[in-house]
Amino acid sequence: MQSVVKRFTMWFGAMSAIALLAITGSVLLAQRTSQKPTNQPWMNASLPPTQRADMVLHEMTLDEKIVLVHGEGMPGWAKMSPQILAVQGQSNGGAGMILPIERLGIPRIQMDDAAYGVRFSAANGRYSTALTSNMGSAASWDTEAACAYGTLIGRELRAQGYNMTLGGGTNLTRDPRNGRTFEYMGEDPLLAGTLVGQRIRCEGAQHVISDIKHYALNDQEAGRQEVDVRISERAARESDLLAFQIGVATGHPNAVMCSYNGINGDYACENRWLLTDVL
């Protein structure tokens, strides 16, 4: 039971971080949809994004805020909850969605994993390009190729009806046995941060909410919800956090996905130092 609660807590925390950090992106996205209203104060593109996010948050009811921190529509979830079953038909078949708040002009966010191409395409009867792994793309040291990589994924996400990517893997490779190494860009923070930033920048230019992940120090897949990474602030900032810092500064992602592991005793998705002080 404790393990089940822990997994739920980690998923809820991850979805909370994605939803809250994607508010600005969803407000920008709303301006490019037919959804009404479009004349709300937070739709004013001349205002700073953080101010616009604060304005729309102020107008939300508690129920609407709860909607934004619950992921829905993940394949297979219908077996777990009648509530999820009720909205399953609204999903685009990707990695989940966030329901719209129509009165505020916030559209439905349809998300899909897109590390090296749009996931679930075959299962949904669609086509997407299978690119080389992120590790392989990083080996090119080619910023223009990284941009083209992101452009292609962003374009195919849009073509398949998604408006948010869950790509942008930035974790450093410390152990080749890590089951997510194919999503990341090697062990060098300068290389990883630079190339993922170029990818994110060009992916977001295709009018999808861009993302960077898994923040941070998520360098193993097996036992990811149980491991507690013990690291000094200096070591963290000179390694993974440096890669994220460069990636954020270069790519300007609209959202950040927190990681599943603990860091110095606190899970990343509820780690105040990581999410508030550093980010």
Of 210, 97, 93, nearest to 150 (Cα)?
210
**Spatial CB neighbours of 131, under 8 Å, sequence gap ≥ 6:** 116, 117, 137, 149, 152, 153
205-223: pLDDT as tens digits? 999 999 999 999 998 999 9
Query: Structural domain of residue 183, as residue ranges?
Result: 2-278
Looking at residue 32, which CATH number applies to its domain? Answer: 3.20.20.300
Q: Is the per-residue pLDDT at 19 higher than 80?
A: no
Please report, rounded to a whole number, the percentage of residues in the chain having pLDDT higher than 70: 81
Q: 91: pLDDT confidence band, cut at 50, 70 and 90?
A: confident
Please tell me the predicted confidence (pLDDT) of residue 67. 84
The stretches of the chain forming alpha helices (DSSP H) are 2-21, 23-30, 49-59, 62-68, 82-87, 134-138, 143-159, 189-204, 233-237, 240-251, 272
**Spatial CB neighbours of 229, under 8 Å, sequence gap ≥ 6:** 217, 219, 261, 262, 263, 264
Q: Is the per-residue pLDDT at 17 higher than 80?
A: no
Q: Is the per-residue pLDDT at 151 higher than 70?
A: yes
Radius of gyration of the chain (CA): 18
Please tell me the predicted confidence (pLDDT) of residue 175. 87
Amino acid letter for position 4: V
Q: Is the per-residue pLDDT at 140 higher than 90?
A: yes
Name the 3-class secondary structure at 106: strand
**Total tally of structural domains belonging to the chain:** 1
Residue 169 pairs in a beta bridge with 213
Please tell me the predicted confidence (pLDDT) of residue 37. 58
**Kind and range of the H or E run holding 212:** strand 211-215
* Under 8 Å between Cβ of 160 and 118: yes
User: What's the sign of the alpha-carbon dihedral 243, 244, 248, 253?
Assistant: positive
Task: Please state the rounded mean pLDDT for residues 80-95.
Answer: 70
